[in-house]
Structure 1
Amino acid sequence: MADSERTPTVIADNAHIIYRVQQGGAPNSSPLASLKRMVTGSKAGNIREVHAVKGVSFVAYKGEAIGLIGTNGSGKSTLLRAVAGLLPVSKGAIYAAGQPSLLGVNAALMNELPGDRNVELGCLAMGMSPAEVATKKQEIIDFSGINDKGDFSSLPMRTYSSGMSARLRFSIAAAKQHDVLLIDEALATGDAKFRKRSEQRVRELRGQAGTVFLVSHSEQSIRDTCERCIWLEAGTIRADGPTTEVMKEYEAFTRR
């Protein structure tokens, strides 16, 4: 299908993302010094600007699963957070259909509450009705596999391993149809059985006309899940196209 016949869900138009990092100690961090900077508009001397994303442009369409690849620090997670509306764009623009959901952020999980209660809260936070939550609750718990080795769904989430928490977050987020779902490394958690289930769920979300962005260091997950890849390096797009072609270029780059 030609691009003109497809429906865009995310448009990045020459997007730049710059954030500020405080370095070392803070010799001028007194309340009086802070107030003076606010009034005069001056910057603290130990603040460094990081230009994380530099002039990125692309269009994502309904029904696409797009892998974001690149070496550490290339800007992948920063770009996802900007698409989700969690980071401001310093220059250019990012437009998105509906409210993009960044996995684990929209699910308002609380460590002191048991897993099954967190499923209910997470689903309600995503806009499901109480009736929908009641219907999907057990299915979400079963999908996550947190009860495979005991009744962990009745235990507080602070007792979970990081992998169990990530699997539960994915299971909650993937239980709802999203216009745009942003996944950062979640498919790398768990055993091979869970990865297969999660990859199949991503394909189902695409089939329901959603758009999925996946950041993963697992090249196999990208190959199995995404037909399109965007390769970011040092905050710029090095390649954007069919996964097989882009991954071939990226692998040659990382072998140098």
Structure 2
Amino acid sequence: MAPTIDIIRHAEAYHNLFGPHVRDPGITPIGGEQGCASLRKKYPHADDVIFIISSPMRRCIETALRGIAPLLDEGQGIVSLLPDLQEVNASPSGTGSPLSKLVDTYGENLEKETVPEDWYVKGPDTKNAPDPDKVEVRAWRARQSIRRATRIAARHHPDAHVVVVTHGEFAHWLTQDFAGITNNRNSAWWPAEFRSYRFADLQYTGDDDDATLVEIDTPESLERRENYLPAADTEERKALQKQIAVLHVQGHARMAEMWAGQELEEDA
């Protein structure tokens, strides 16, 4: 076997119930906590987890800390923050918190040495802006980082698992699989859902500079996907699926102009 990457969408957060006006929301005390409890019950690979890598947004950190970390041995549940995994849009709910505030809340549980204080800035001239080309590059950078971490994990355990916690919309860009996206739905991932992948070329011995992720289509993994939708069977259909995802990001860019004129509450 080879190391596995288990990608998880965060559990239900306040913006899923009340809309995008809440700055960097955490998970909800009912749906969010239940999602984490379900994740703890369903996730079968705790003994093999070497790294937990997460978007630095609160809902992802909390999902990692409450959904996966409790399954691990004491001292192993440290969450490494990777800003490239953050949300796509630039609404208040899609905008993270300064690193210092995250440290105040979750400090001893975070690996954050390479994360800048203002990692979350999403102005039009930044690398995190809701622009389709920038989102695609950000997903590429994230895959490169995860592939490097997975190579390290493989040295410790040949069948290692690396847990990655991110956002529903960004998960499609990360995996390059846009199945299930529609004009009215920007993600086909349920809250707290996880899907398992392996790198096509973990050691990067060939031409896979894209760090392609290949889903592990086992009966068990498909059974976990309550909303499973098959991938497109032609290149034309794949291109159409991606184009719908691009239109969603372009819509976020238009909305970003509106959000830019509003003061965001740091303590929301």
TM-score norm. by structure 1 comes to 0.32
Q: Which has the higher strand share?
A: 1
Bigger Cα Rg: 1
